[in-house]
Structure 1
């Protein structure tokens, strides 16, 4: 297994072999947070998705990560927006890839969620990295990277520029539905955890999971295909499992019972163990 596995095995061996450590580990395990709380496009249940307002709200709600969607403007600027068009979440129309950064930055990306958010803008990737690194983990999704040749190199460049190509405690993770793109990201940033996204049961077979484990650290399925057996199979291959997208307390409770490693949710309070 890749990246941190050898370090983890070494640590586990040390803990097992040290009689002094065993009681301490057993005593404190119950105090550790067992599941990461990932704010999907920020705290998007309460604020306009993929905006500074949404990410600030996620920090306020003490989520462990914000999940962001990265695309690229016509003139090469990395921007944070989910859809490949601006129609749903802004007052503009057209494809992200066909609009310049100046055109994108002029759009209102908040009013669709409520008048109180009028004037929220489409953030840039650089802006999000600079504002939130060190404050909260960042789960970076490459949205339709096949539309943006070379976007992997651009993302890697921005992370390296900020020394985020060697993240501490997995606080930078990269994921996509595009598996070839993730293989490329793994080659470009071998120390950054990689995740694969899917909603297809065909990707949960023994062979498929084994293939993913060659380059991915996370297998991130929609919660509709999560089973206890799947969680165990993913863990047996040294990967973690983060499931999406939770929009009800019932869905969150189901994933708690499945013992996934992270829950990706529009409502961080559904996953907050203090509630």
Structure 2
């Protein structure tokens, strides 16, 4: 668990994160010091929220408008992706339709994010729910609808908590909808203090409210008589003293770490200060970052299949960049040639699924391949992303991660030449048939061989002929005994854990067995498995 600094740990003078000097004689610091030093009053009881992730983390994340770089913001797919990643909260925006019904949408106008036009407030709920909110993001989301607040509450119940960012609401109606859904322990309402006072009064204090706090407001009853469960503040206003002061009153602190603050430097500063909740666009980076800070040596290494394909288009530089930001040890690539012999990263033999091209890649010249869009199929944020060449990838990856090279359609001579050019021969493992790997070993024995192992009966023969660095074992044959047998032959074990049905506990079992590398499409499940491993170790 991240340690919380004590209220008495601040120096005589200090610099805020933003660099503003706060003298120790400022009234709020003296007030805080005296209240702690004299501290006879008990800490008020904190609001009890539902905990969707068990056991809970020391901090929680609130993903901004859902996973909005992977799915249309404020929609069911964006919320479902957050749930699948084990995120505790999703921030959604609430507005009123023309007939005074609550609906999820950020902007005041419908243009650009739906097939509708004009102000949202001029459309009835029925009209709004008939719109297509998916196609403007990507064709694969065609037909995705907007969500009414009632639908969002039903979708989220018992699965993920909701930060309701109220753009324009009817407080009494909102309260009645939350209470009718039985979601009072899974919601926090964000708005101006006057509106929040109406929510608190109408709900009898059953629904948590969260106003914005700024340093100039001070710490002495900044919201008057309003009982708040949490406060939001910008990342550059976070300090340990502020967090401790609100914690003393039983109030949670939510740091808004969006945009220029959504980086490891600011995450670390906020974690060190004792922040409870993070509003972020990058939970898939923030949560691993917090784990790596505490973990030390990892109990297992991991490879991200075709890059971080859950968060960016597969086999693109965007996917590999995301993989390195998450902290992957290996990135897996698929390599195929163009009609004129240049190598590109593409899984399929044909272009249709992941680009706007058509036909076999082997029959397409490199000049044409360079112009194809390999990102729009995935989502609007990746429009005009290109298919990278092998040369571009090797120049990009450098020492950021090791390479899991799936040599789909590249001869050993060309593969070895490409790795040697970038001095990456010892930072790659190559997955290929035994015959091709034997050829590769003759060309450059420093390149590590990773043959498939569909059956344990094949191990002795593989080890005699090839002496591989590791085997890619079929998931179905992996066991503690199998891993131990491979290790006895000085052979490491990789396995693909790609099924969506696998849970973090399934991956934890692989870790306990001593697996060397797990390849996955879903890094957050593996991160969660390592969190559980660390929690158990600390017991």
TM-score normalized with structure 1 length: 0.78
Instruction: Name 1:242's counterpart in structure 2.
Output: 494
SS in 2 for 1:79: strand
C-alpha displacement of 1:42: 0.5
SS in 2 for 1:219: strand
Deviations 1:207-260 (A, max 9, x none): x11222232211112323322222122212211011103344344234223321
Deviations 1:145-180 (A, max 9, x none): 3xx5xx211111111222223x2xxx321112x221
Aligned residues: 231
Moved over 4 A (4+): none
RMSD of aligned alpha carbons: 1.9
C-alpha displacement of 1:141: 1.0
Contact kept? 1:61, 1:269, Cα under 8 Å: no
Contact kept? 1:40, 1:245, Cα under 8 Å: no
Instruction: Name 1:211's counterpart in structure 2.
Output: 461
User: Which segments of 5 or more consecutive residues in structure 2 lack a partner in the other structure?
Assistant: 1-294, 533-539
420, 423, 432: which is aligned to 1:163? 423
1:106 aligns with 2:371: yes
Contact kept? 2:302, 2:330, Cα under 8 Å: yes
C-alpha displacement of 1:61: 0.5
TM-score normalized with structure 2 length: 0.41
402, 408, 412: which is aligned to 1:152? 412
Larger proportion of helix:
1
Contact kept? 2:299, 2:511, Cα under 8 Å: no
> What is the CA–CA distance in structure 2 between the aligned matches of 1:267 and 1:90, rounded to whole Å?
22
Instruction: Name 1:226's counterpart in structure 2.
Output: 478
> What is the CA–CA distance in structure 2 between the aligned matches of 1:260 and 1:189, rounded to whole Å?
27
After the TM superposition, which residues 18-57 of structure 1 pair with which residues of structure 2 at under 5 Å, given as runs? Answer: 31-57=296-322
Deviations 1:74-97 (A, max 9, x none): 111111111111121111221121
Higher RCO (C-alpha 8 Å, min separation 6): 1
After the TM superposition, which residues 82-97 of structure 1 pair with which residues of structure 2 at under 5 Å, given as runs? Answer: 82-97=347-362
1:179 aligns with 2:430: no
> What is the CA–CA distance in structure 2 between the aligned matches of 1:270 and 1:81, rounded to whole Å?
25
> What is the CA–CA distance in structure 1 between the aligned matches of 2:395 and 2:456, rounded to whole Å?
36
